Structure 1
């Protein structure tokens, strides 16, 4: 995680029985869903409605996850989402995944988000509400 990353959102998500795989722990693909849920909650809070009917919205162009320990049902995961300084149209984000009530880090991930004009498929400037999060005079 970059040194100047800021905590921008925390999400609590119940682990569902169906999130587990044949090894009796949360399937690796589901961790990306947990990160996605945190990202969507944050984007909507910032006024970026995530919908195929919106003209402009955030899309992921790269995502990664490092699995450090298995999560088992029942549990509630806590996803902390961090972001670095925004570029013109992109924002780098990082994630930490914990199980509620524990200090152990279960997974960490990253995703690069780009704001796109859905009609043209071209990038557009990051919305001012998002950019304002990184204005040091507002901190």
Structure 2
């Protein structure tokens, strides 16, 4: 599968695969795919640090995530993880993920998604997406 998503790309990172990421059959374990998505998501979130002017110190929780395993993946190697923009609500954002080996960038090995919700540390309830993220999302 070589199709690229028509969704806007929010972030791209490369992550090396490790020997310990493999299962006893020599394939990258299914839980590692979620960790790769998490690594990209964490880097993306960290690229918009809170500032003193930001009056919304919200944190993110994941309320749903999923992964489709399209091709086998083996270590060693490096994968590119792309985060693509999805639907957005007042306090939520869906991110879509694409995973490809850097030595075979035409082949899509996995897709996934996660629904992020911003939460107020004071109330524990959902809160609007902070401006530092909204300003950098498509459609603004």
In 2, Cα distance between equivalents of 1:69 and 1:26: 11
CA distance in 2, matches of 1:46, 1:130: 7
Say if 1:4 and 1:85, in contact at 8 Å, map to a contact too.
no
Query: TM-score, normalising length from structure 1?
Result: 0.86
Q: Does 1:31 align with 2:39?
A: no
The structure, 1 or 2, with the larger RCO (C-alpha pairs under 8 Å, 6+ apart) is 2
* Structure whose residues are more often helix by fraction: 1
Aligned residue pairs total 130
Q: How does 1:119-134 map to 2 (within 5 A)?
A: 119-134=122-137
Equivalent in the alignment of 1:96: 98
Structure 1 residues 24 and 58: CA distance shift in structure 2, 3 A: same
Moved more, 77-86 or 104-113: 77-86
Equivalent position of 1:110 in the other structure: 113
Which residue is 2:77 aligned to? 75
CA distance in 2, matches of 1:135, 1:80: 15
**2-side partners of 1:82 and 1:46: how far apart?**
16
Does structure 1 retain, via aligned residues, the 8 Å contact 2:99–2:109?
yes
CA distance in 2: counterparts of 1:41 and 1:133, whole angstroms: 15
CA contact (8 A) 2:15 2:79 kept: yes
What is the alpha-carbon distance in structure 1 between the residues aligned to residue 132 and residue 61 of structure 2? 17
8 Å CA contact retained: 1:5, 1:85: no
Cα deviation for residue 5 of structure 1 reads 3.1
Aligned residue for 2:36, secondary structure, equals helix
Deviation readout 1:108-137 (Å, 9 max, x if unpaired): 000000001234320111011111123646
